[in-house]
A = this chain, B = another copy of it.
């Protein structure tokens, strides 16, 4: 079966930038391509949009097929449509991004990829197509977002220390933050609930644990705010 059109049509794809956080770094998930072109190279998970699925459904499907990750909130990032971005033919890519708690999502290579793995954002290899640019645009979007919206609900464990929260901001912003100033501002927002629990199994003095106040988090997400750090 083939399909015939009067004019040439670009092929339409989706690509996903999924951010996760662990003790060391802000990371993104990459897959090892199982098909040409760039077979065996690390690239963003993604693929072609089926005629009967929405763009978001296509992104969810590809992410699940290639990494096993599902049930994440994908937000549209940008559509990349330069004429020569794919060596095969004209392909326009609608990029999505998501934040996930790295511990909650065991990743697995599946049918469409040989391998899937987390890479530090600071240490992303040279990727095929314009995937490095897509990663940069996603990271910039995330950097912008922390200044006007709460972030971390998806990235951090349910209970976390202020040091963990600060490290998340530092990793996203790619610079160090003044500790006193950070604590004053973040506590002043009323976004955190102080728990009567402390870290376990640490060599140093156990730090207090916090969790997000979900109602306030939602409210600030809708309203927006200013977080100058």
Contact = CB atoms under 8 A, between A and B. Distances in A.
Interface of A: 1-12, 48-49, 51-56, 76, 78-79, 81-83, 90, 92, 94, 144, 147-148, 224, 226
Give how many copies assemble into the complex. 2
A53 B7 contact: no
A4 B7 contact: no
Contact of A4 (B2, B90, B224, B226): B2
Contact of A3 (B9, B12, B54, B55): B9
Nearest to A95: B79
B6 A2 contact: yes
Nearest to A57: B83
Nearest to A53: B83
B3 A92 contact: no
Contacts of A3: 4-9
A94 B76 contact: no
Contacts of A6: 1-3
Contact of A78 (B8, B48, B54, B76): B76
B7 A9 contact: no
A10 B3 CA distance: 11
